[in-house]
Homo-oligomer: A and B are copies of this chain.
Amino acid sequence: MQEQTVRIGLAGLGTVGGGLAEILRENREWIQKRLGREIRITKVLVKDMNKERDVPPPPDAKLTGSMDELVGDPDIDIVVELIGGEEAAYNLITRALEEGKSVVTANKALLAEHGSELFRLAADYGAGLAFEASVAGGIPIVKTLKESLAGNRIKSLTGILNGTDNYILSEMTDRGISFQDALGQAQDLGYAEADPTLDVDGYDAAHKLAVLIRLASGCDYSYSDLPVHGIRGVEAYDINRARAFGYRIKLIAQLKDRSGSLQAGVFPALIPEGDILAKVDGPFNAVHIEGDAVGPVMLYGQGAGDLPTGSAVLSDIMDLARGNCHSNTGFVNDALDKADPLPSELTVSRHYFRFTVQDRPGVLSILSGIMGEHNISIAQVVQKQEPSDEAVPVVFLTHSAQLKDVNNALAEIEKLSFIKAPTRHYRIL
C-alpha cells in the first residue's frame, strides 16, 4: 500500500479544487521525490455533470454527480471536501468518515459549528480529518499549533484572518478612500463576494478563530459564544486619526488564555505601527502567537487563492499518505472539553474613542469627568482647534481600562445632549 498511488476523491472543482489539480499536475515528479508515491485525483464529485467548467477536470479522473459513488468507492483512499457550505459538506464528510476514509477539508464554517461532532466521529472510525486549508490559506498555522508548538501553552493568539477585510482596511489607510469604495474595489478584484456579509461582518474570521482556539487550547469554544464585530462601521476619519497617533486599524481575531479561562473575539483594533502585525497589508493574512516557551512567533502569507490554499490541502494529503495522523485535534483525546469563556466585558486594554460633539465650553470636562467616574484614565485628547457651529470630532486615547467600564461610560455619554452622532470606539492592542 505504501508504494501505491494515493487515490483522491475530490468533491468540488472550484477555485481550490482546480488549484490542487494544477499543483498535482505541475509538481508530479517533485511530489513523488518527497513522498515516494504518486497522488492522483481519480474521481471528482460535481453538482452538475453537464455544466461548462472554468476549471478542466484532471484528464484521468472520472466525473460523478453522486456523493454515494464518491464516498463508497473502495478504490479511493482520501476524500477531499472542497464544496463548501454546510449541509452537503456535512453529509459528505460524515459519510466518508463512516466508511473509514480519511478526509481533507478547507471548510472553516463547518469545523467551527460542527467540529466537535466531526472530530469525535473521525476518532470513532479511526479516520483522519485534516484541515490545514481551513485557516489562513497556505500559511501552515494548523500544523504549527498541532505539532511545532505542541510543548507550549499558548498564552495568546492574534490573527489577521480575513484577506478581504485586510485589503479593504489597507486601501482605506493607504489611499484615504471610503469603506464603500474600498469594498467595491475588492469586489471588482474578486477578493469580496457580491454579498460581503461573511467577510465584512467578521463571521469568516470568527469561523477561523474557532478552529484555531481548539488547536491552541484543546477546548471546544462554542462558535455562537464568540463576540464578533466586523469592519462595516470603520470610517476613513478614524483610520487617519489612528495613523496620526501611530496606529493602523486592522480586523483582529484574538484568543487570550487568562489562567485557563479563554477570552476570545473578533473586532477591529488599533495596532501600533512598530508592531510587525501592522505591516501585514493588502490581502495577506498573519497569525501572531505567544507561547510560554517559544515566546512570540508570527506566520505570514496568502490567506486565500487557488494555489496557496491548494498547497495546504496537498500538505494534508501528503501527511495522511505518510500515516502522520496521530490525532486530528492535536490532543490524544479527540473529544475535547468545553472551554471556559471569559466575558469580553472583562477584557482590559487601551481604547480609542471618537465623540462627535456640539462645540461648546465644558464639553471636554464633562466627557473626561464621566470617564473618570468609570475608572477610565485618559492618555491623549485631540480636539479641533477653531470654534465651529457644526458638530466636531473629539478623539480620546485612554490608558488601560476594563471593557465593562468603557461600555458603561459610553452608554452614559450617548445620552448627553451635546453628542451629535454615534461614538466610534476601538480597542488598542
Which residues does A use to contact B, with CB under 8 Å?
19, 23-24, 26-27, 30-36, 132, 138-140, 143-144, 147-153, 218, 276, 279-280, 291-302, 305, 307-308, 310-312, 314-315, 318-319, 322-324, 326, 330-333
Instruction: Tell me if B301 and A148 are in contact (CB < 8 A).
Output: no
Task: Return the 4 tightest CB-CB contacts between A and B, nearest first.
Answer: A140-B148, A138-B294, A36-B332, A151-B314
B293, B318, B330: which contacts A138 (Cβ < 8 A)?
Answer: B293
Minimum CB–CB distance for A278 against chain B, Å: 8
Q: List, in ascending order, chain B residues with CB within 8 A of A318's CB.
A: 147, 150-151
Cβ of A148: which chain B residues have Cβ within 8 Å of it?
A: 132, 140, 143, 312, 315
Chain B residues with Cβ under 8 A from A19's Cβ? 293
**Is A293 touching B276 in the complex (CB atoms < 8 A)?**
no
Picked from B138, B218, B293, the residue with its CB within 8 Å of the CB of A33 is B218
Question: When A151-B311, A280-B276 are in contact, do A297 and B295 touch as well, CB less than 8 Å?
Answer: no
Docked-complex contact B292 and A296, CB < 8 angstroms: no
- A304–chain B nearest beta-carbon distance, Å: 11
- From the candidates B34, B299, B302, B305, name the one contacting A330 in the complex (CB within 8 A): B34
Closest-CB distance, A46 to chain B (whole angstroms): 23
A279–chain B nearest beta-carbon distance, Å: 5
25 A-B Cβ contacts within 8 A? Answer: A30-B151, A33-B332, A36-B332, A138-B294, A140-B140, A140-B144, A140-B147, A140-B148, A143-B147, A147-B315, A147-B324, A151-B311, A151-B314, A151-B318, A293-B314, A295-B301, A295-B308, A296-B301, A297-B301, A297-B302, A298-B299, A300-B300, A322-B324, A323-B326, A324-B326
Interface contact B295-A302, CB-CB below 8 Å: yes
A80 CA to B427 CA, complexed, in Å: 45
Shortest A133–chain B CB gap in Å is 11
Contact partner of A35 among B24, B150, B311, B324, CB < 8 A?
B150
Query: B326 to A300, Cβ gap below 8 A?
Result: no
CB-based contact B301/A294 at 8 Å: yes
Q: Within the complex, which residue of B26, B152, B295, B298 is in contact with A292, where a contact is CB–CB below 8 Å?
A: B26
A294 with B302: in contact, given A150-B34, A311-B149, A322-B326 (CB under 8 Å)? yes
- Which one, B36, B153, B295, B323, contacts A30 given CB within 8 A? B153
Q: How far is the CA of A302 from the CA of B289 in the complex (A)?
A: 12
Q: Which of B36, B152, B299, B308 contacts A293 (CB 8 A)?
A: B308
Taken together as a complex, chains A and B put the C-alpha atoms of A33 and B327 apart, in Å, by 11
- The residues of B that contact A296 with a CB separation of less than 8 Å are 300-302
Could you say which residues of chain B place their CB within 8 Å of the CB of A138? 291, 293-295, 297
What's the nearest-Cβ distance from chain B to residue A172, in Å?
Answer: 18
| Contacts known (A132-B148, A276-B280, A324-B324); A311 close to B294, Cβ less than 8 A | yes
Distance A32 CA – B280 CA, assembled complex (angstroms) = 35
- Bound form: Cα–Cα A330–B31 in Å: 11
Chain B residue at minimum C-beta to C-beta distance from A314: B151
Q: When the two chains form their complex, are residues B319 and A147 in contact, meaning their CB atoms are under 8 A apart?
A: yes
A324 to chain B, nearest CB (A): 5
Q: Is the CB of A307 within 8 A of B294?
A: yes
Other than the given A31-B150, A299-B300, 8 more pairs (CB < 8 A) read: A132-B148, A138-B294, A140-B147, A149-B315, A276-B300, A295-B307, A323-B323, A324-B326
Partner of A151, one of B27, B144, B302: B27
- How distant is the Cα of A312 from the Cα of B331 in the complex, in angstroms? 18
| Cβ B315 vs Cβ A293 within 8 A | no
Q: What is the distance, in angstroms, from A246's C-beta to the closest C-beta of chain B? A: 15
Contact of A143 among B143, B153, B312 (CB under 8 A): B143
Q: Residue A332 contacts which of B27, B34, B150, B305 (CB distance < 8 angstroms)?
A: B34
A206 to chain B, nearest CB (A): 24
Return the chain B residue nearest A148 by Cβ.
B140
| Residue from the set A36, A150, A292 with the largest chain B CB neighbour count within 10 Å | A150
Q: How far is the CA of A391 from the CA of B293 in the complex (A)?
A: 52
Instruction: Kindly provide the distance from the CB of A82 to the nearest chain B CB, expressed in whole angstroms.
Output: 15
